[in-house]
Amino acid sequence: MSHSKPPLVAVSACLLGQKVRYDGKDKYTQLIAEELKKHCQLLAVCPEVEIGLGVPRAKIQLTQIEQTIRVLRKDDPQIDLTDLFTDFTFKFACQHNLAGLVLQDRSPSCGMENTQLYSQHGDIVGLASGLFTSTMRELKPDLVIIQASQLQSKQDIASFVSSILSKQ
């Protein structure tokens, strides 16, 4: 019988009840915090806090500048946080042997194709993935990454866990 360690899954810290959102609140999701913990080792991550943004903090947004998407402060678009996010994500990906990621929807760091993308003039021009998510996908294309909204039942959790285990 093998007693291998349960797979390591990074989870947006707000989903695990940490009050790390820009407004100082959390997005505690019992199903993820309790049910997923039965099958996986959970690692809380909040990229925005990790790069040094405080709680509460000014909102950030994804902004399309020519062919690239940058992460800018909403109240002060001169403040570009893109490189901080990219550097943190690279270190995070190298430090942890992750089997999966469960991330908060519509977040400029953690959203997956559901975060509002703005033009330089402040108009919404589409949807994109948060920078942490898109960078992780580039660095670890085989990693199973899902959004919190995709985990609505114990069955969803079981499917996620089996998809992780099938790649181990």
| Angle made by CA atoms 99, 100, 102, in degrees to the nearest 5 | 160
Number of structural domains, the chain?
A: 1
- Helix ranges (H only) for the chain are 30, 47-50, 82-95, 131-139, 154-167
Beta strands in 106-155, from DSSP E residues, in sequence order: 115-118, 124-128, 144-147
Domain span at 153: 8-56+83-108+131-167
In a domain, 20, yes or no: yes
In a domain, 62, yes or no: no
pTM of the model: 0.95
Each of the 168 residues of the chain gets a pLDDT tens digit; together they read: 455 789 999 999 999 999 999 999 999 999 999 999 999 999 999 999 999 999 999 999 999 999 999 999 999 999 999 999 999 999 999 999 999 999 999 999 999 999 999 999 999 999 999 999 999 999 999 999 999 999 999 999 999 999 999 988
User: Residue 31 sits in a domain of what CATH number?
Assistant: 3.40.50
